[in-house]
Structure 1
Amino acid sequence: MSIEEDLFASMTPVIANLAEDGNGAVSLGGSRAKQRSDAQSDFDFRVYSDRYKGPVLQQTSAWRQFDATLQSWEAKGLRLDGVWARSYAGVQADLDAWIAGKGQTKTYEWTIWGYHLPTDLAHQQIIVDPNGILARWKEQLAIYPDALRSSLIDQHLEVLRYWANDYHYASKVTRRDLVFLVGLTGKLANAILQVVFAVNRTYYPGDGWNLAIAKDLARLPPDFIARMTAILEPGHDGESWQRQRHALIAVIADLEVLTAE
């Protein structure tokens, strides 16, 4: 039995037992679920149920058993990022909104660009699914929803068009306003990648591995990965931020062509 199999065999029952009926669905998210893990990756568990033991889950004996099991694995050198307890009904309502093109990105401290539910559900590794609900969610997302695609493209192109023509961006470059420019670089890079993934009917991968995953997409602006890498690493010479701005505007123009095809 591999370390991962041993971990799942040990952790799954204590995670499932957090549910009020002791029969929660358990999955793994994060980079491991996306098959992009490396030596730095941790294990991100989720548990799903209608109700949890309580009234305060973290004060129950079930939680203490879970925490003790988690700590025993961390003592062996594995990184475990706890467990995220979620409700079936809450996730289903959010998923319905996303599929209809009306989903709201949720802000959590552990995300940079916010939490994107379709990404999580489409990629999560199902460990136990007593009611088949997690599998059904995957089936709902097996074909990229048209409404979601249109919504993401429109939303992020609006951001990109604004900044491509904004005087304040040009003035900040002239002033070398570094805090502003670094922040805007991230904002625009995220918007560009959101459009690219939506065009390709591929779920945005979340905060990590964006360029590594994007390089395998079928429809990209010319020389996209190299151009984005240069944008994100603009250099330190006197023209670096001006060069970056022109490069971003050029990529945005290419996205206009790509989305019109």
Structure 2
Amino acid sequence: MAPEAELIAAMAPLIADLAEDGAGAVALAGSRGKGRSDRQSDYDFRVYAHAYRQDLKETRQWHRFEAAMAEWQSQGLRMDGVWMRSYAGVESDLGAWLSGTAIPKSFEWTIWGYHLPTDLSSQQIVSDPEGRLAGWKDQLACYPEPLRNSVLKQYREILNYWAADYHYESKVDRRDLVFLVGITGKLANAILQVVFALNRAYYPGDGWNLPMAAELELLPPDFTSRMAAILEPGRDPDALHRQRTELIAMIADLEVLIAA
């Protein structure tokens, strides 16, 4: 058995046992859930349950989980702990996303917010005693049109505002680097949000955005190479002006693509 399979087989029952009834649903998320892992990737486990053991971190179940995690990590297989969620909480949040309320949750460990549909649709189900994880995947099998419309509206407003706003140009003229780093990230994220929604594909989250975008059907011309040039504009005197010009051109090409 491969080390990854051994780790999952060993950790899944320990993670499931954190639930109050000892039968939590377990999934592997993050880059490994998406099938995009590399040597730098850790193991992002999720556990779902109705409730968890009282004073969980004082229980023998938690200590057993932590000891096993430490043992695997000593062998070079790094785990990002385990994220515990309730069935009821997920289903409430999922209902909002399906109806078009696309509001990512803010956590310190994510730059662009936690996107529930991405997580649920891409995670690898390990244990699903009530079939709920599979049911969520079924609900997300077709990209919801209310969500698509909401994402397109929200992020196109951001893009079109900054494409026309004179403050952006003045910040370039002043070489206000802190502002420009921030606005470049904001606009790059908004562009990718629009691209994925346009293609009825779930936004990947913080990682693998450009490689996954390259696999989409509806893209502006030379999308990935242009985005790479925008994000790495160089250090010549015209670099920041060129970056802004190319961002505005990309926004215009997106509007043409949407209109078509």
TM-score, normalization: structure 1?
A: 0.99
Contact conserved, 2:102 with 2:150, CA < 8 A, in 1? no
Corresponding residue number in structure 2 for 1:115: 114
State the secondary structure of the residue aligned to 2:108: coil
Corresponding residue number in structure 1 for 2:51: 51
User: Which residues in structure 2 correspond to 1:20-59 (within 5 Å)?
Assistant: 20-54=20-54, 56-59=55-58
AA in 2 matched with 1:23:
A
User: Which residues in structure 2 correspond to 1:91-240 (within 5 Å)?
Assistant: 91-240=90-239
Aligned length: 260
Where do 4+ consecutive residues of structure 1 move more than 3 Å? none
Distance in 1 of aligned mates of 2:216 and 2:23:
39
AA in 1 matched with 2:160:
R
AA in 2 matched with 1:38:
D
Contact conserved, 2:143 with 2:200, CA < 8 A, in 1? yes
Distance in 1 of aligned mates of 2:178 and 2:102:
30
AA in 2 matched with 1:110:
W
CA deviations over 1:200-250 (Å, ceiling 9, x no partner)? 000000100100111110000011111101000011011100000000000
Distance in 1 of aligned mates of 2:167 and 2:59:
54
2:79 is the counterpart of 1:80: yes
Corresponding residue number in structure 1 for 2:6: 6
Distance in 2 of aligned mates of 1:100 and 1:258:
25
Higher deviation after alignment, 84-93 or 3-12: 3-12
CA deviations over 1:23-51 (Å, ceiling 9, x no partner)? 00000000001110000000000000010
Question: Percent identity at matched positions?
Answer: 64
Contact conserved, 1:25 with 1:128, CA < 8 A, in 2? yes
CA deviations over 1:53-98 (Å, ceiling 9, x no partner)? 01x2222211111101111101111111000000000000000100
Distance in 1 of aligned mates of 2:225 and 2:84:
40
Contact conserved, 1:94 with 1:103, CA < 8 A, in 2? no
Distance in 1 of aligned mates of 2:94 and 2:57:
27
AA in 1 matched with 2:8:
F
State the secondary structure of the residue aligned to 1:139: helix
CA deviations over 1:8-32 (Å, ceiling 9, x no partner)? 1110111000000000000000000
Distance in 1 of aligned mates of 2:28 and 2:95:
22
CA shift at 1:103, angstroms?
A: 3.2
Contact conserved, 2:57 with 2:63, CA < 8 A, in 1? yes
AA in 1 matched with 2:63:
R
Distance in 2 of aligned mates of 1:74 and 1:226:
37
AA in 2 matched with 1:98:
W
For structure 1, which runs of at least 5 residues remain unmatched after alignment? none
AA in 1 matched with 2:102:
G
Distance in 1 of aligned mates of 2:209 and 2:75:
31
Contact conserved, 2:102 with 2:151, CA < 8 A, in 1? no
Contact conserved, 1:95 with 1:103, CA < 8 A, in 2? no
Distance in 1 of aligned mates of 2:35 and 2:9:
20
Distance in 2 of aligned mates of 1:57 and 1:248:
49
AA in 1 matched with 2:13:
P
Distance in 1 of aligned mates of 2:9 and 2:61:
17
AA in 2 matched with 1:35:
G
AA in 2 matched with 1:46:
R
Contact conserved, 1:29 with 1:120, CA < 8 A, in 2? yes
Query: What value does the CA root-mean-square deviation take over the aligned residues?
Result: 0.6
Distance in 2 of aligned mates of 1:5 and 1:223:
39
